Amino acid sequence: MRDDTRHWIQADRAHCWHPFTRQADWCAEDHHPVVLTHGKGPWLWDSEGRRYLDGNSSIWTNIHGHAHPVISAAIRAQLEKTAHVSFLGFTHPAAVELAERLCSFFPAGTLERVFFSDDGSTAVECALKMAVQFRMQTGEPHRKGFIAFADGYHGDTLGAASLGGVGRFFDRFKGPGYPVTHVRSLEEMRSQTCAPGAMNPASISSSMKS
C-alpha cells in the first residue's frame, strides 16, 4: 500500500463520518477502504492505480459519467463569472434561463415557476413545506399529512425521512416528522381511508388541481 493511501485511510478513520455506514466496521483495523482519486466516463481509479467500472454511477453521475468535457468546460466558464449568487432578493441569467427552459417542457398553465434547491432531500423538504403552507394559507391547517409509497426513499432530512418507507433507515424519525400513510399502489391509495390528518383518497384529485 502506498504511503499516501495509508495516510488518507488513517485520516479518514480519524475525521470522517460516512452516511449509511456502520462506524465500528469502517474503522476496524482489517478494513481497508478503497480511496477513489479520479474518474473518466464510466470508470474510476483508486489511489493504488486500480481501475473500476462505476457500477452505481457514484449515485449522481448516471447520465454523463465523470469528467465530461462539455460539463467541465461549462463549470469552468461559470466560475470565471461567479461561484455563487444568492437568490434571496436577487436573480442572475443562468437561473432565469434554466427556469424558463424547464417550464417550457410542460403544457401552458401547469408548471409555471421553478424553485431551485440544493439536492434531492432538500427538494423534497421544500415541496413538503410548500404543501403544508398552502393548506395553512387556505384555511385548512389540519391537512398536514401525506401519502407515500411503501419501501420508498425520499431523502435524509427530517421531513423527507419521516415519509420514508424503509423501516431500517426511517422508523426512528417518524415521531418528529409529518403524519404519513404508506400505500403500495395507486389502487390501494384510492381504495383505503387515510390516517387522521392526511388527505383522503377522494380529495386527492381535487386538491392536486388546487
Q: What letter does residue 27 receive in the DSSP assignment? A: T
CB 121 within 8 A of CB 60: no
pTM value is: 0.74
Q: Which three cell numbers stand for residue 121?
A: 432531500
CB 181 within 8 A of CB 195: yes
pLDDT of residue 125: 93
Could you identify the residue written with the cell 460539463? Answer: 71
Name the residue ranges covered by the structural domains of the chain: 3-53, 120-201
Could you identify the residue written with the cell 409509497? Answer: 149
Among candidate residues 69, 83, 71, 2, the one with its CA nearest the CA of residue 37: 2
* Amino acid in the structure at residue 175: G
Residue partners of 17: CB distance under 8 A and separation at least 6? 23
Among candidate residues 152, 131, 148, 153, the one with its CA nearest the CA of residue 195: 148
Report d(CA 174, CA 106) in Å as an integer.
34
Q: What is the pLDDT of residues 173-206, one digit of tens each?
A: 777 888 998 999 988 888 865 444 444 434 443 3
Q: At residue 74, does pLDDT exceed 50?
A: yes
Residue partners of 23: CB distance under 8 A and separation at least 6? 17
Q: What is the pLDDT of residues 142-173, one digit of tens each?
A: 998 999 999 888 888 888 988 888 887 778 77
Report d(CA 54, CA 110) in Å as an integer.
37
Residue partners of 194: CB distance under 8 A and separation at least 6? 145, 147, 181, 200, 201
Beta strands in the chain (DSSP E): 36-40, 43-46, 51-53, 146-149, 180-183
Q: What is the pLDDT of residues 103-112, one digit of tens each?
A: 999 999 999 9
Computed over every residue of the chain, the mean pLDDT equals 87
Q: At residue 5, does pLDDT exceed 80?
A: yes
| H-run or E-run covering 96 | helix 93-104
